[in-house]
Amino acid sequence: MATKVIGWLDERMGLLGIWNTIFDRKVPKVNWWYTLGSATLFLAVMQGVTGIFLSIYYVPTPEDAYNSIEYIMNEVAFGWLVRGIHHWGATLMVVTVFLHMLRVFFYGAYKYPREVTWLTGVLLLVVTLGSGFTGYLLPWNQRAYWATAVGSSIVGTVPLIGDFLLRVVRGGDDLTILTLARFFGVHIWFLPASGFALIGVHLYLVIRNGISNVPQRGE
């Protein structure tokens, strides 16, 4: 029955072709370091899924943000688990993305023809770190507030346009409801949307160019 359904769909949608291109590729003999990109991908998806669930209860206003997180932790069924995965997943993702980048660097996998894969990776690194920075403010507790006050003040040290950039990041001179609103918007819309689009291009290039070999001595 299942084979019939798949056959029917395949005839009309070319599903097996897509499946074979993605999962039935020729891969050189590699090692465990090559799993770090997939580990990062898994974490990115987990962050997306847990973030969607958190957005059901989280309220992005200075009055309610902290309380809504307390509510998620203490009242919502498995809220502590979903938030815990999102919290620790963010930290773990920063670790895996850096290790993945180091693997690519030390194996010289950024060289021809994978330069654009590397460039999309650099943008993904910025998106990952930006997500961590904007997410950190959302609980709106003392630590979040002052970490963002310090973090955003660094932007203000850019020569000439520092003051302007600081106001763009904060939505004014101080950390207010406007800061929380824009960090929330950037955290749940701008960064995930650009991140998953970039991951699409990144993975297309990984499939198109194939996985690089483990470099041999003298290469």
Q: Report whether 5 contacts 13 (CB < 8 A).
A: no
Rounded CA-CA distance 58/89 in Å is 18
Q: What are phi and psi of 82, to 5 degrees?
A: -65, -45
Instruction: Provide the H-helix boundaries in 107-141.
Output: 115-137
132 or 156, CB closer to ligand HEM?
Answer: 132
94 or 165, CB closer to ligand HEM?
Answer: 94
Q: What are phi and psi of 192, to 5 degrees?
A: -60, -40
Indicate whether 166 belongs to the interface with ligand HEM (CB under 6 A): no
Indicate whether 182 belongs to the interface with ligand HEM (CB under 6 A): no
CB of 121 to ligand HEM, least distance (A): 2
Rounded CA-CA distance 25/21 in Å is 6
Q: Under rule CB under 6 A, which residues in 77-136 are in contact with ligand HEM? A: 97, 100-101, 104, 109-110, 114, 117-118, 121-122, 124-125, 128
List contacts with ligand HEM (CB under 6 A). Answer: 34, 36-38, 40-41, 44, 97, 100-101, 104, 109-110, 114, 117-118, 121-122, 124-125, 128, 199, 202, 206, 211-212
